[in-house]
């Protein structure tokens, strides 16, 4: 913190030191992208932002159902790649 304060005086007391300041890979609607894409055989599970640890178990379960049985779940429909093409 001392080095940071030397380079940017006042930043330690500004509140920025304890905040998140970075790029997060999220779609415009802040929902992950999950499932089929226009590229044949290419499936996505991305765009979770900071919620991947929370959402990944359900997403993985539903992707496994789709890959193994072709079963579409409400989660796969809500987070489908196709929604971004509209």
pTM: 0.67
Q: Is residue 12 part of a domain?
A: no
Indicate if the pLDDT at residue 8 is higher than 90.
no
Instruction: State mean pLDDT over 49-77.
Output: 93
Q: Is residue 5 part of a domain?
A: no
Q: What is the pLDDT of residue 18?
A: 56
Q: Is residue 65 part of a domain?
A: yes
Closest CA to 50 of 19, 72, 80: 19
3-class DSSP state of 62: helix
Q: Is residue 11 part of a domain?
A: no
Cβ-Cβ contacts under 8 Å for 19 (sequence gap 6 or more)? none
Number of domains in the chain: 1
Q: Is residue 16 part of a domain?
A: no
Q: What is the pLDDT of residues 24-60, one digit of tens each?
A: 777 888 899 999 999 999 999 998 887 888 999 999 9
HSE, CB side, 13 Å, CA atoms: give it for residue 80: 13
């Amino acid at each position: 913190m001392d080095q940071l304060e030397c380079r940017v005086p006042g930043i330690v007391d500004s509140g920025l030191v304890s905040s998140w300041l970075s790029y997060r890979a999220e779609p415009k609607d802040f929902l992950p992208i999950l499932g089929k894409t226009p590229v044949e055989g290419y499936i996505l599970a991305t765009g979770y932002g900071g919620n991947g640890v929370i959402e990944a178990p359900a997403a993985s379960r539903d992707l496994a159902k789709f890959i193994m049985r072709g079963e579409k779940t409400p989660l796969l429909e809500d987070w489908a790649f196709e929604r971004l093409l509209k």
